[in-house]
Structure formats: C-alpha cells, structure tokens
Amino acid sequence: MESRIITPGPYRATKLWNEVTKYFRAGMPLKRHRLHFKTYGNCFTASEAVDWLHHLLKNNSNFGAEVTRQQSVQLLRKFLKNHVIEDIKGRWGAEDLDDNNNLYRFPSSSPVKAVPSRQPLWKRSSLENVFKERDNIFKLASFSRKVPRKRASSDNKDEQENEACEMDEDLESGTDGPKELTTKDIEEIWGRITLTHLQKILALPSLDEVLNPAQINPGHIMYNMTHTSKHGVVVLEDKTDDLPHWVLSAMKCLANWPRNNDLSQPTYPGFERDVFRTVADYFLSLAEPLLTYEYYELFVNILGLLQPHLERVAIEALQLCCLLLPPHNRRKLQLLMRMISRMSQNVDMPRLHDAMGTRSLMIQTFSRCVLCCSEEVDLDELLATRLVSFLLDHHQDVLQVPCYLQTAVQDHIQYLQRAHAKAPDAAPSYYFCKQISRQEFEAQRFATSQAAIEELLESIVRDRRLSAKDKKKKLKQFQKEYPEIYHSRFPTTESEAKLFGDKPTIKQPMLVLKKPKFRGLRH
C-alpha cells in the first residue's frame, strides 16, 4: 500500500500512529484459522501480522528500510495494548504478543488517537512571562521578518493584522543613539538568522508550533559555529561535560580497528565486543538523549523531509537544528556518528552480534541514545531508527558548519557596524514594533505607493537616454495608467509641451539631391 507523507507540523508522531493503524486495518489479510479443533473466521496469526506489518513499515517512506522484524513485533504489542487488535477471545490491554501462531483479530472499531487541539504549554502562557524567564530569548516576531508581532492586550484584530514593524530587534541603549554590538547582540543575530532559515525550510507559518522558544539559547548556536576543530568537531572550553577519557579511548579503538593507538592489541577472543559494550553502556546511561527532550518534536518533524527528492532540504534542516544543541551534546553526537560510520564501513571489524550485521547493530543500539521523548510515544523507536539511519549516511554534511549561514551572519554584522561607523549619532538602526491603527496603516501605504509612482514618472522625465519619441510613448502610457498623478505633474498642455520645447514638432523636409542623368552623346 502506497504511503502518504506526513508533512511537518505539530503532533506529527500522533498523525503517523493513526496513519499506520489505518493502513494495517485496511490491508492486513484476514483468513479462516483452526485452533484447538475450532475454526475462527476473519482473523490472523501473530506471525502473519508481523510479516505484513514489517513489509509495510520497510516500504513506508516515513520509516524506511532499516526497520527490523523485532521492531514490528514491538509495534504489534502496542497495537494490542491500545486495542487496535485483540486476541481471538477478545482480550487486549497487555503487551504479551509474540512472533507465533496465536490468533488475533480486529475489534469492531479501531481507536484513533485524537490529535490534541490544545496549544503546547509554552504557547498558552503569555509572551511576557516567557521572556521574563529567559532574558536572552529573541521575540517570536524574529522567526520571520514578515510576521508582525501582536500584543496580547489588543482587542482589535484588524489593528493587530496591520501592525507596522520596521525591524525585529532593538539594539538601542537609551536615547543617545546606537551602541556598539555586544556579544549578546551578536548571539541574537546568530539565533534570529538561523531560525528564519529553518522556518523557511520547514515551510511552517511559525516555528512555535514545533519548538518552545523559551528553550532556544542563541549562545549555543554561536558557539557551535565558531568553536570547532579542523575536522569540524566542537571544541569545549569547559571539559566538565566532555566524554570521559576512557570512553574516548574505547571509541577511538573501535573507529580505527584493528589499528589501535590508546589500547593494546586484544589478548582474548571477544575483546572488541567488550569494548563496544563499554561505549554502548555509557551512551545508554545518559540522562537524556543527545538531541535533548526539548527538541524531540522539532526533529520528528524533520523526518517528514527524509524523502529521496528532498534529501538536500532535509540535510540543511538538520544542519540548523543540530546547531541548537548544547555544545557538549553536539560534540558527543559528532564523535558517536563518526565512530559508528567507520565501524559500519570497516570490513575488518569482527562480527559483534550473532544475528545482526554491524550497521543494523549500530542503529538499533544507539537510536534511543540520539532521539527519544520524555514521555512514552508508541512510534518512538521507529522514528529514532529512521533518523539515525539517515545521520549514519549523511553525518558529514549534517554536522558540518553551514557556510551560507556563517556568511549571512557576518554580512549582517558588518552592515550594522558600517552603519554605526558612518553615523554614530544618528537614529538607531533597530526599533521596537509599534502598533498603529488600520486607518494610519492604509494612509501610510497609500502615501508610500503614491511617492513610488511619482518617482517613476520623474525617472521617465529625467531619462536622457530616451529619444523624444520613446519618451512621449512612455508618458502617454503612464498618463493612461495614472491620470491623476500625470495631471498633477503636467497640469496644462503648455507644461507638457515645455518638456519638448527644444525639439521641433514638425520635421523639416530634407534636401534630396538627385544625381543628374547623363545621356549618351550617341544614340
């Protein structure tokens, strides 16, 4: 059955759950089965369900080919727990389903999870309270320069829709003119430009649908972009949260197998398995996943872009999202992906699992260390597998510093610095958004457009490159389109004729010299 792409937006995991259950109920073949000398109709065995669901998930672009049979079993257990299916005696609510010949059936109606209609907690609180909690958070309007900021106290919807916002941020200190850019100002520029790019990539009306603005730390973005080694890995100034030395040594041993630098050659069979288990135990014991709980919804939405024709877009989106991470999380993610990528491609790596290849083992082991929700989500493991599989193939592009973003920020900072250097006592470059009435907005819009049209007319009049014929043609066309503005500029025919006063209106006949005809002297 052809899969439908669940596009980015709030509660994407819930929408995916409903999509999978709908496909499963619609497509799972129902047969007659005999059990304990009794025949049951319209049912299926657990193994048949595993076969069909595994094939569905592997061919569904929302999950991908890395889905294992065991993950399909686990999803069926969640189906049983949530009463998507029931056993042949009508029992459900437990997770004791196994890959065997036990019989199951569909209940008369499948429970569809309701997509929450309430806004996220951070959207239900007032913006003022959010900003008080974190004084380094930029305004929600800065997610897009084109979206005006609305004041919560305003009751006039029309006035809110027509707020005039000259700039996003206010870098002014007092009323004595603009100040020089501080570190905090530069951090906010990094954050604003990064989130603006991200919102455009996700094509969302607002990033606060999938991202809590109070969790954004623009200092993390700036640090992750500017403190890197020659290989692009984040370099930590504070080593407190860095990987322990023994974990780094073990990861280096596995990444360079069988060439080891920090560890001696193994002296017993299974040494490499023990080293791998040491690394896995460390990452599995972390207090939260590397992508953090706060950004779970954001990264789940990026999964909607993991399509063959959107691969470049997905890489750019993940580049920006990974910049939001705390520097020590980003560093651990970079080193982990480098290790498992090398291990997956290393033909000399001994088999680390009896029933699983190295690549599959890497993905299944570290998926929940990378992406996980703070609350239980039924598709958690499948979504994490999909993301880690993509990162494994594209981690070098995803976790590198995006040059275009660095250039955009540097150009913006230089622009602000040049403006300050040229006019240190001039009015500030940034202003707070100011709410105006609908009438004022319409008046300003009319005046601005009128001035632009008048400027167009003057440009035609002053254009010396136009011939008199072409200028008259353009003026006649302008007069037809904007008669009032044209009449204001040329109220009388004399004023119009004065423009071409030094040009003769009638061309003088040119003297035509005809060559005399010479007739031959002889006929």
Q: Is residue 262 part of a domain?
A: yes
Query: Which residue is listed with tokens 């009388």?
Result: 492
Domains identified in the chain, total number: 3
Return the exposure string of 400-420: e unless at least 16 CB atoms fall within 10 Å of the residue's CB, then b. Answer: bebeebeebbeeeeeebeeeb
Q: What are phi and psi of 31, to 5 degrees?
A: -135, 180
447, with CB counted inside 10 A (0-12, 13-18, 19+), is exposed
Residue 282's pLDDT is 97
Is residue 234, in this structure, part of any structural domain at all?
Answer: yes
Kindly report the backbone phi and psi dihedral angles of residue 367, in degrees, each rounded to the nearest multiple of 5, phi listed first: -60, -50
Do the Cβ atoms of 272 and 257 come closer than 8 Å? Answer: yes
Sheet holding 38-45, edge to edge: 31-35, 38-45, 103-105, 86-87
pLDDT in the model for residue 159: 42
Domain-located, residue 254: yes
Is the domain of 100 the same as that of 166?
no
- Cα gap 173→430, rounded to integer Å: 11
CATH number of residue 282's parent domain: 1.10.555.10
Contact 437, 161 (CB under 8 A): no
- For residues 141 and 16, membership in a common domain is answered with no
- What tens-digit pLDDT sequence spans the chain (523 residues)? 445 667 666 778 888 899 899 999 999 999 999 988 899 999 999 999 999 999 999 988 888 888 999 999 999 999 999 999 999 999 999 888 999 999 999 998 877 777 765 455 344 443 334 334 333 333 333 333 333 334 334 444 444 334 333 333 444 444 444 557 889 999 999 999 999 999 888 888 888 878 888 889 999 999 999 999 999 999 999 999 999 999 999 999 999 988 764 555 556 888 899 999 999 999 999 999 999 999 998 999 888 888 878 889 999 999 999 999 999 999 999 999 999 999 999 998 988 998 899 999 999 999 999 999 888 777 888 999 999 999 999 999 999 999 999 999 999 998 888 876 665 555 444 444 555 666 676 676 667 667 777 877 887 888 777 788 888 888 888 888 788 888 888 888 877 777 776 544 444 555 454 555 555 545 4
Q: What is the CATH number of the domain that holds 16?
A: 1.10.10.10
The pTM of the full predicted model, rounded to 2 decimals, is: 0.68
Q: What one-character-per-residue DSSP string does 107-141 give?
A: -SSPPPPPPP-SPPHHHHS-HHHHHHH-TTPPPGG
**What six digits make up the tokens of 46?**
């657990």
Quick one: 302 and 448 in the same domain? no
In the chain, count of helices (H) and strands (E)?
20, 4
Question: Minimal CA–CA distance to 120: which of 325, 298, 320?
Answer: 298
315 and 232 in a single domain? The answer is: yes
How would you classify residue 11: left for phi > 0, otherwise alpha for psi between -120 and 50, otherwise beta? left
In-domain check, residue 250: yes
357 and 470 inside one domain: no
* Same domain (yes/no): 28, 168: no
In a domain, 303, yes or no: yes
> Do 237 and 367 belong together in one domain?
yes
**CA 415, 416, 420, 421 torsion: positive or negative?**
negative
Answer yes or no: do 177 and 254 share one domain.
Answer: yes
What are the angstrom distances between the C-alpha of 70 and each of 98, 151, 281, 356? Answer: 10, 51, 21, 12
Q: Looking at the domain assignment, is residue 510 inside a domain?
A: no
**Per-residue model confidence (pLDDT) at position 463:** 78
Within a domain: residue 7?
no
Q: For the chain, give the longest Cα–Cα distance.
A: 135
- Please check whether residue 71 lies inside any domain of the structure: yes
ω into 258 cis (within 30 of 0): yes
Radius of gyration of the chain (CA): 34
Supply the range of the domain harboring residue 494.
Answer: 440-498
Q: Are residues 227 and 325 in the same domain?
A: yes
Structure tokens at 512: 């035509």
In the beta sheet, which residues pair with residue 34? Answer: 39
3-state SS record for 454-499? HHHHHHHHHCCCCCHHHHHHHHHHHHHHCHHHHHHHCCCHHHHHHC
User: Whole-angstrom distance between the N-terminal and C-terminal Cα of the chain?
Assistant: 101
Range list of H helices, 346-429: 358-370, 380-398, 403-422
160 token code pair: 């809110």
On whether both 42 and 176 belong to a single domain, the answer is: no
- The answer to whether residues 78 and 136 belong to one domain is no
DSSP-assigned states of every residue in 188-246: HHHHHHHHHHHHHHHT-S-GGGT--GGG--HHHHHHHHHSB-TTS-B--SSGGGSPPHH
- Distance, in Å, from the CA atom of 193 to the CA atom of 147, rounded to the nearest integer, reads 14
219/277 same-domain check: yes
Of the candidates 437, 344, 358, the one whose C-alpha atom is nearest the C-alpha of residue 393 is 344
Return the closest-CA partner of residue 207 out of 118, 147, 290.
Answer: 147
